[in-house]
Amino acid sequence: MTVRLNKDALHHAEGLLRAGHVVRDERDDWSEHAPSTDKGNDFIDEHGMDEYALWFLGEDTSENKGTKGRHLFPYGDFTDLHRCAVVSGESRAGQYKHRSIENALKDLLTAIDERDGD
């Protein structure tokens, strides 16, 4: 398994943050806020796989392009960036030593929390 940072997804997440499309929830909320498999499939049907990929900061290059299994580390619900997903993903990326993804999520979390202070 080779996992790399999806830079396009990171730019998308940063754009959501700048636009204020952020849900400032707590870490444990992700289990309830994560989109269902059906919602993911509906999103792909409506917007395509390229748009779907923008919602995941990790890309497993050992998986075939055009498959859901290629996309890891979700950060939102296809509408908003979720703080809980960022916190959860940062922890998981660290656990599996995906440093570039861990660092990107850490920076995103810092930006979310700093924006709360505005």
Please answer whether residues 55 and 75 qualify as being in contact, where contact means their C-beta atoms are separated by less than 8 angstroms.
yes
- CA pair distance 84, 29, nearest whole angstrom: 6
Q: What is the mean pLDDT of the chain?
A: 95
Give the per-residue pLDDT at 29. 95
pLDDT(53) > 90: yes
* Single pTM value for the model: 0.94
Give the per-residue pLDDT at 116. 65
* Segment 25-52, tens digit of pLDDT: 987 899 999 999 999 999 999 999 999 9
**Chain Cα centroid distance, residue 109:** 11
Q: How many CA atoms lie within 13 A of 50 on its CB side?
A: 1
